[in-house]
Amino acid sequence: MIDRAANLPDPVAQLALAEHTVPFTIHLPTPTPNGAIPLTVDTDIEGQVASFDMWWTLPGSSRLHIWETNNPGLATEGKDVLASGIPVSVNGVRWQQTRTNWDTVTLTELCSRFPDGVIVCVASDLDPAWVSSVASTIS
């Protein structure tokens, strides 16, 4: 199912395009969380460095966001998502957890560097346990 009310490009087609254009394997939850409807996909590619964003609408107007990058310069750019938050273990994988306010919504975000060098961040306005359960399905 696609959230057509948003009047955005087809996220399934955008995901297929991203999988062929970003220079890394995109890591997504498997299976997709129950009730998650793809909302939007965006990429930013500069040579061999890229970022990938995907948003889903969840039941009750909540959102799920996954951001990924292979940018090795995040720390030198002052954008190292792995340098803040508290370390947590999800299925034996180390993630950095932060809680931030985004407008009037509090987001839980988990970020980890995968063995292929890709940094993966999972965020939602649902509780930290739910975000951890989604992170546990990403490989």
- What is the chain's percent helix, strand, coil content, to nearest 5? 20, 40, 40
Low-confidence residues of the chain: pLDDT under 50: 1, 3
Domain of 53 in residue numbering reads as 4-135
Domain count, the chain: 1
Which pLDDT value is given to residue 32? 95
Residue 76 is predicted with a pLDDT of 87
Identity (one letter) of the amino acid at 88? V
The pLDDT score that the predictor gives to residue 103 is 86
Tell which residue, 93, 97, 102, has the closest CA to residue 129.
Answer: 97
